[in-house]
Amino acid sequence: MTSFHARGLAAALVLTLIGATAPAAAQPAAGTTVPVPAAHASDGSGRAGATDRVVVKFRDGAESAPRTRERVYAEAAEQVVPRGAAAAGEHEVAAPRLDEISETVDSAKVVAADGLLDAEELETLTAALEEDPAVEYAEPDHLASIAATPDDPYYATSQWNLQPTAAGLDLPSAWDRATGAGQTIAVVDTGITSHPDLDANVLPGHDFVSLHAGGVQPGHSRDGDGWDPDPWDEGDYAGLDECWSGSAARNSSWHGTHTAGTAAARGDNGTGVAGVAYDAKILPVRALGACGDGYVSDIAVAIAWAAGDDVEGVPANPHPATVVNLSLGFLSSTCPAVLQDGIDRALSRGASVVVAAGNNDRDARMESPANCRGVITVASTTAYGTRAGYSNWGRVTLAAPGGDPARQILSTANTGSARPGSGSYSYKYGTSMASPTVAGVVALVRETDPSLSPAQVKDVLVATARPLPGHCSGGCGAGLVHPRAAVARATLQEGYTAQGAIGWLHARIGSSTGGPRSHERCGLAQDGCYQEFERGAIYWSADSGARWVHGGVRSAWNRAGGVNGFLGYPRSGERSNGAGGVHQLFQRGTVVWSAGTGAAAVRGAIGGRWAALGGETGLLGYPLGGERGGLTGGGADQDFERGRILWSPATGAQPVHGAIGRAYADLGGEQGRLGYPVSPEHRSGDTTVQRFQGGSIVYRHGGITISHR
């Protein structure tokens, strides 16, 4: 990865890497048959996760009645429409036939269908079975297979970082389920060179190195022009004193080629190494030139373009990345605004951004982009499972193998010492190697569940990381990335379950919420958690317990900032108000809904006054919108069906409504001569009076009288 030389080039990034060339990989002999990896082996259906069996456990007493079980099977099967028939537009299709064929542990029944069912059909079937009161649980009877191990010759001998060891990542157990197919990993780096272990996975990229005039200097493109559609690595070599005064001559690092191979070198092709996501596509985006340097302004644009953002004067990227890898960095205690903007644009387009923590044995908060918002920051571990001595620590998301001088990371490289030669392999170490490792894991997770947002992908990685086998002084975030567990957590065919307090509430009101549509996600404000369901979400905090929020009430709550806003967590479920609407209590206010007015929040002094006046069934009726601040004198107001409540520090919250309210509005309201109301209306006989800061309004016999002080 990257370090910043103290030489006054504040916007440049410098890569500090150590590498050695490994022997050329053995090639398969002519006519050799390359085995199909287990993850891609045919199950006879062409559909991932397909099986023709489910396991059904009936509640005590129900399993002894065969007719009861036959009814349950038949009714559940009616809910499943075979995909092929639906796609063909058939209106009358036969439901799958279900027959008991045996028993398994604890008297659970093994039930076979008359054909293979895919993950979605199995989810529908098991959900329908579990809706029956007689059923305790139902689940697919999955087909298990041996762990997928690629036949790349260096995998077994040299890629300790990917193997099932204490310090390795046990990628074979994850490759059973995902290999990165359908995903694109953008490598924003020095560019890429042609390589037999990469070429089949490489997409057309772009060169964003803008410096091309003058002699060789840090960040120079060496290709004679600025931005262009050629992302090939021109070499980051330099002569004596060319990188900075006193700098030694250096060979080209082929850093982008190495990081690309770590993430997604072609696997199971009988050649060289296997990348973490070996079926993912590589999008090479050149942003670093001579000396391994590049300007932040170029890098920011490169990140945004890689994710599919429009860049003026540059053709649109036809292959937007699902994950962007940044094995680069520089000393800065804050993330530059332009770099954060590039990252934000990538995140907004659904691309995760994975960055190296840095190689300077200090708090990662002192380096960018490690300290930028929304990124996945990766520290480096050794073959002993400890934090590498050079690796930054502290503010990191998690860790991954990056090696050390004793045991490094083998990946794709080039034989050229300056200009590109032929493809080869070399060893390097650093957080530059740890970062693309995690980028590859992100690709596995996204293949498993493409609907996940960058924040949700990050949640999955954090929730499934395991403790480091060794020590990590300074802190390594959530721990060591755990590919198998991350993929399992994101796997739709396993279904989502609700547990703990959220699960208890779902068990009570599941007919209202529908089934879970995400895993439980924690780390919210006040150490809270939430889980999405078909028709809303359940939120939990220690103060409020578990509460369901949905529909218009949830929309209004989200507009107010959700758990991070002024309302905080829900403290009740929705309650009917007896007037055709509902309300829901939150920690610091209430959201009220009716069909005619929609949902709006009431809170604070205005909410208290409204409640004292009878709330939605009282004088003012339902709120027509949220509270508005910024009024004259630091005041606020809120509109209701039949009036308005105004508040100021000097007068508190007071209502205005009816004829007096209309006259007050005609006089300019709080901005007019009367100012804020200082009391509600007072009625005596046939006269109604309301006092204001600057006078009063009197209503009598249908007429209005205004007096000023």
Q: Are residues 309 and 385 in the same domain?
A: yes
Q: Check 432, 541, 594, 696 and give the catalytic one.
A: 432
Last residue of a domain, one of 80, 105, 140: 140
Residues 236 and 353 in one domain: yes
What's residue 59's pLDDT? 79
The answer as to whether 495 is a domain residue is: no
Let me know if 189 is a catalytic residue: yes
pLDDT at position 488 is 81
Q: Give pLDDT, residue 199.
A: 95
**pLDDT single digits (tens) 193-211:** 999 999 999 999 999 998 8
Do 131 and 159 fall within a single domain?
A: no
- Mind spelling out the 3-state secondary structure of 663-694? HHHHCCHHHCCCCCECCCCEEECCEEEEEECC
- Identify whether 255 is a catalytic site residue: yes
Helix%, strand%, coil% for the chain, nearest 5: 25, 25, 50
Do 255 and 327 contact (CB within 8 A), yes or no? yes
Distances (CA, A) of 3 to 172, 244, 316, 512: 33, 14, 32, 54
Domain boundary among 428, 462, 490: 490
The last residue of a domain, from among 140, 170, 201:
140
The CATH number linked to 173 is 3.40.50.200
**Pairing verdict, β 529-533 and 521-522:** antiparallel
DSSP 8-state code for residue 8: S
Measured between alpha carbons, how far is 644 from 637 in angstroms, rounded to an integer? 7
Query: Has residue 565 been placed in a domain?
Result: no
Task: Assess whether 166 and 105 both reside in one domain.
Answer: no
Helical (H) or strand (E) element with 587: none
| Domain annotation covers residue 654 | no
Q: What's 551's DSSP letter? A: H
Q: Please give the structure tokens belonging to residue 121.
A: 């059909």
CA nearest to 274, candidates 180, 134, 342, 144: 180
Helix (H) or strand (E) holding 158: helix 153-158
The pLDDT of residue 144 is 52
Which three-class secondary structure state does DSSP give residue 635? Answer: strand
Q: Which residue numbers in the chain have pLDDT < 50?
A: 1-48, 82-92, 145-147, 492-494
Whether 199 is in a domain gets the answer yes
| Whole-number pLDDT of residue 142 | 65
> Do 86 and 218 belong to one domain?
no
Same-domain check for residues 127 and 67: yes
Q: Do 110 and 173 reside in the same domain of the chain?
A: no
User: Cβ(372)–Cβ(343) under 8 Å?
Assistant: yes
Q: What angle do CA 612, 614, 620 make, to 5 degrees?
A: 105
Question: What does the alpha-carbon distance between residue 586 and residue 589 come to, in Å, rounded to a whole number?
Answer: 5
Q: Is residue 576 part of a domain?
A: no
**CA 537/CA 553 separation, integer angstroms:** 12
Is the same domain home to 461 and 417? Answer: yes
Same domain, 90 and 186: no
The answer on 63 and 161 residing in a single domain is no
Q: Tell me the two tokens of residue 464.
A: 């499934």
Active-site residue, from 195, 206, 220, 255? 255
Q: Cα separation of 158 and 449, whole Å?
A: 31
Does residue 31 fall inside a structural domain?
no
Is 520 a member of any domain? no
Neighbours of 270 (CB within 10 A): 18
Q: Is residue 330 part of a domain?
A: yes
| 132, 152, 176, 189: the active-site residue | 189
Domain that holds residue 123: 51-140
Total number of domains in the chain: 2
Torsion of Cα atoms, 77 then 82 then 88 then 89, to 10°: 30
> Using CA atoms, how far apart are residues 479 and 470, in angstroms rounded to an integer?
11
Q: What is the CATH number of the domain that holds 102?
A: 3.30.70.80
- Same domain for 446 and 304, yes or no, is yes
Mark whether 432 is an active-site residue: yes
Residue 214 is predicted with a pLDDT of 78
What are the beta bridge partners of residue 283?
Answer: 186
Both 119 and 240 in one domain: the answer is no
Q: Count other C-beta atoms under 10 Å from residue 419's C-beta.
A: 13
